[in-house]
Each structure stands twice: as structure tokens, then as C-alpha cells.
Structure 1
Amino acid sequence: MRAFRPFAVVCLVFGLAGPALAAGCGNSAAGFEAWKAEFAAEAKRAGVKRPGLQALAATRYAKSTIIADRNQKSFKYSLDKFMKVRGVNTIIAQGRKRKARSLAFYDSLERAYGVPAGVLIAIHGMETGFGGFMGDSNVVSAIVTLTYDCRRSDFFRPHAIGALKLVDRGSISAGTKGAKHGELGHTQFLPGNALKYGVDGNGDGRIDFYNQADALASTANYLRQKGWKPGQGYQKGQPNYRVLKEWNAATVYQQSLAIMGVKIDG
């Protein structure tokens, strides 16, 4: 068993200076502006360019995001209640119609990534009501605030860097709106995942998560990269069920996707 070495010793051994470390965190708006200056240095070291750094400088502490983060009740519901609250029957009915209208598109995604239409349509319906509401919170401010907040700083840090790099690329702007936790587009990608798994689904040369084709192709790519096995089932106990957890960690969400997907594909 390797002996534990205090962090300060590790820093000396590997030549790490204090300022090169990750920015700290805070539990109120009071230290946010000072923290942003620390995080800007970290972002710059990670390769964020001027547009992204300017977007970071323009962020504001997103109090509504913090409130939402502390109040995620729906994932504690029973499966039946969760499905009623989320309007699963409506998603299934509309999802069947959407599949029938765009069958060639969904078939092309299944050929490319192995993910059937029902799963993608279920995610699309669950996340934004098929694009009906993609959020009204500033994406960059939300994700940066969550990185500053001490509760889950390490989880959100790569997504904050991802958001700033998406600004550099022109995929989003400093003013782009999304969900309370910084999720963006038709299927509500966290920015780090958008940066890593985004694909150009409509062939126009850019990746835009507010374009349905790009968002759904990116969702299919994400699931495939997370281990989706083409041609295998995704109900509980089947090989692809575990991949649904990669999309959302809540058990009731995974169960709902499995139920909706198979009924949409019916």
C-alpha cells in the first residue's frame, strides 16, 4: 500500500505553486467576484481564449440556480408520480407522431449510432417538451455559479470550462439561455458534455444544440460513446439499461425512459 503524502509535500515534489491550483469555493454571493478572478486564471491555463474569458467576466451569481439545486424534489417521487408529473403519456403520444413524421431522420441516427428512435424521442420530450421550453437561465452564469458553490464544485468545474470553450467556438454566447443548472439546447446537455460529444447533425458545418438535428445526433453519439450496444435491449436487466444512467442518475428517470422508449417504438 502506497503511503499517504500530505498535499503540501506533493506540491513541492512536483513543483506545483499555489496559484496554479484550482480556485476555491464559496457558499454565498459575497466572494463570487473575487473567486471569478481566480477561476479566470485557471480557465486561461485550460485553454480558454478571450471570448470565453470575457463571458466569464460578465457572469453574475445565479441565486435562482442555487435555489433550484437545493430543491430537486421530483427525483424523490415514486415512479408513478414522477411519470404523471412529467407527462409521460403525452410524451409517448406526441413521440409516436414525431417519429412517423421524421422516420428517415431517426433511421439515419440509428444506423450511425445504434440508438433507436424511441430513446432519443423520449429524452427530447422529457428534457424540453420537444424543444418547447429550453430554459430561461443564463447558461454561463448558472454553470459558473455552480462551480463556485461548494456543494459540487468538482463536478461542475469541467462543465464551466466547457461552457467558456463553447463561447470561444461560437457554439453559444455569453447570453445563451438554458436550464437552471446550465444545461443547454433541445436535450439539455451540460456544457462539458456538449463540448466533448457534440456532432453536426444537419451538415451545416457547425454544432448548434438549439438545432434539433444537431442536438439529437449529439445525444445519440453521447449514448454510443458511453457504451450503448447497437441491437441490444434497454429495458431493466438488458445490456443498454445501464447506459440510461449515464444520461441521468435518477432511477425514476431511467425507468421512465425505458418505458417511454419502447412504447414510442411500439
Structure 2
Amino acid sequence: MRRLIAPALISALLASPALAVTCGNTSSGFETWKQDFQREAKRAGVRKAGLQALANAQYARRTISADRNQKSFKYSLEKFMQIRGSATIVAQGRKRKARNPEFYAALERKYGVPAGVLIAIHGMETAFGNYMGDSQVVSAIVTLTYDCRRSDFFRPHALGALKLVDQGAITTATLGAKHGELGHTQFLPGNALQYGVDWDGNGRVDFYNMGDAMASTANYLRQKGWKPGKGYQQGEPNYRVLKQWNAATVYQQSLAIMARQIDR
């Protein structure tokens, strides 16, 4: 005789953690996962605009492809600096500092971070704002949160992106890097939400405005432990703070070298 499963048992099975949709490695479960994540977003305080942005997010295949094929951080220091164009960054960085010395001096007075460090980050991340990405930030970061590879790492940044939409700082159309980084210095959205600075005083933080972006970067480093007046080369107090910006050793080494050359 065919047995019927009681409705209460069905509900219990569907609610079971073993059957809950937590992540996925293909696009097939993305829409279902978004519905689950919407509930989490609501609990985290995301409002109507952010929830609508989540609903509109598309599975970002180019982001997944890029995440699976990161190679540059495996290069030697010499090769990495060559690929990143360190000589050009240093040469242009010195000119940028000379053209606007008071701006960088003001940032250093407030946050303690030297011009060379901020300029080197700006040059490394977006070639001084000349290329800030071609991927929709919300879709990219939501896709990475859904993807099983690093879901927990990207979750606070997805929530941050949705809250930035609520604040009007970004929209669903805002473009950034393939991993959802945004603006002149490529902030992950959760960090943008927490450390953003309205440098020009217009009432909003705009990471596509150089002043806001550079001040936010300086603020981030200071909040992560930067000690004003202390060195940032290997073995010096602030070198470890560079790791807070990018965990790749070759990036930290390159940043320290280029920043020192710019500040000479």
C-alpha cells in the first residue's frame, strides 16, 4: 500500500539544514538561493531598494571564470611588478603628487598615511582611475556569495553592497571589478560601507570621486592599525597593515617598493 507523508513531516524535511540551499557551483540554483538570501538580507537591515537590487542580480559567469583563474599573485616579485607596470605607476605617481601636494598632505595630516602608499594603491588598482571595471558590482558580489568556493568571505560584502544601494551610493548598474570591488581604489562593498569617507562634504560617499576614494583608503589603513610617522617597509611597523589591504605577499612587497620610490 502506498504511504502518504504527513504534511508536518514534509515541512520538517524542507526546513532541514541538510536540504537547505546554502551555495552552488553552477547557475542552476541561483534564483532559489537569492530568495533564501533575501530573508537574511532583511534580517541584516537591508531595505526596499537593496532587496530589489538583490532580486535583479544576475548570475555573473565572467566573475566565476575570473575567480577560478587568478594567476598573477603566483608570480615572482619581479614578474608581478612588471605585469602591474610598476615603473609607469612610480613615474606617474610622482607627477600626481607634485601636481596636488596639499591634497596628499591633508590626507597624511588626518590619517597618517603617506602619499606614496595611497598613490601606489591607486595606480595598482585602477591605473589612477582610468579603468575601474566593467562588471556590475551587485551581480558580481552576490554571485560570489552564492558560489561555494568563498561564500562566507563574500557574504558581508554582498550585504554591504545592498546597503550601499539603500544609501544611494551605488545602483544595480554601477560597474566595478569582476570580484565586485568598486571605485578608484577598488573597495569591496562591505569595507566601502564601513570605512567610506565623504571627503568633499557633499553629503554622500562616492567611491568614483577621487577625493572620497583616497580619503576612504587612508581611513581604512588607519583603522586597520596604521601608525603615523612609522615606516612601511618589510620589518617596519606599518608593513603588516599593507596585508589588510591585500593578503598576497607579492602585492604587499610591490606596494611598499613603489610607495617608497614615489615618496622619495
User: Which residue in the other structure is 1:163 paired with?
Assistant: 161
TM-score if structure 2 supplies the norm length? 0.92
What pairs with 1:59-98 in structure 2 (closer than 5 Å)? 59-98=57-96
Map Cα deviations across residues 50-92 of structure 1 (whole Å, 9 max, x no partner): 0000000001100100000011100000000000000000000
Please point out which of 220, 241, 252 is paired with 1:254. 252
- Which residue identity lines up with residue 140 of structure 2 in the other structure? A
On the 8 A contact 2:122/2:185 being kept in 1, the answer is yes
Please point out which of 42, 52, 57 is paired with 2:55. 57
Counterpart Cα distance in 1 of 2:196 and 2:70: 27
TM-superposed CA distance for 1:23, in Å, is: 5.9
User: Which residue in the other structure is 1:132 paired with?
Assistant: 130
On the 8 A contact 1:23/1:39 being kept in 2, the answer is no
Please point out which of 39, 42, 49 is paired with 1:41. 39
Counterpart Cα distance in 2 of 1:181 and 1:38: 22
- Which residue identity lines up with residue 28 of structure 2 in the other structure? A
Counterpart Cα distance in 2 of 1:218 and 1:127: 14
User: Which residue in the other structure is 2:22 paired with?
Assistant: 24
Instruction: List gaps (5 residues or longer) in structure 2.
Output: 1-14
- Which residue identity lines up with residue 49 of structure 1 in the other structure? R
On the 8 A contact 2:21/2:32 being kept in 1, the answer is no
TM-superposed CA distance for 1:231, in Å, is: 0.1
User: Which residue in the other structure is 1:234 paired with?
Assistant: 232
Instruction: List gaps (5 residues or longer) in structure 1.
Output: 1-16
Map Cα deviations across residues 159-218 of structure 1 (whole Å, 9 max, x no partner): 000000000000000110000000000000000000000011111111000000000000
User: Which residue in the other structure is 2:115 paired with?
Assistant: 117
Say what the alpha-carbon RMSD is for the aligned residues. 1.2
On the 8 A contact 2:138/2:172 being kept in 1, the answer is yes
User: Which residue in the other structure is 1:172 paired with?
Assistant: 170
Counterpart Cα distance in 2 of 1:208 and 1:23: 35
- Which residue identity lines up with residue 62 of structure 2 in the other structure? S
Task: Tell me the SS of whatever aligns to 1:25.
Answer: coil
TM-superposed CA distance for 1:221, in Å, is: 0.1
TM-superposed CA distance for 1:18, in Å, is: 6.6
User: Which residue in the other structure is 2:203 paired with?
Assistant: 205
- Which residue identity lines up with residue 232 of structure 1 in the other structure? K
Counterpart Cα distance in 1 of 2:263 and 2:123: 14
Task: Give me the identity figure in percent.
Answer: 76
Counterpart Cα distance in 2 of 1:231 and 1:257: 18
User: Which residue in the other structure is 1:101 paired with?
Assistant: 99
On the 8 A contact 2:225/2:241 being kept in 1, the answer is yes
On the 8 A contact 1:147/1:157 being kept in 2, the answer is yes
Counterpart Cα distance in 2 of 1:105 and 1:204: 17
On the 8 A contact 1:23/1:42 being kept in 2, the answer is no
Task: Tell me the SS of whatever aligns to 2:143.
Answer: helix
User: Which residue in the other structure is 2:7 paired with?
Assistant: none
- Which residue identity lines up with residue 165 of structure 1 in the other structure? K
Map Cα deviations across residues 116-143 of structure 1 (whole Å, 9 max, x no partner): 0000000000000000000000000000
On the 8 A contact 1:178/1:185 being kept in 2, the answer is yes
TM-score if structure 1 supplies the norm length? 0.92
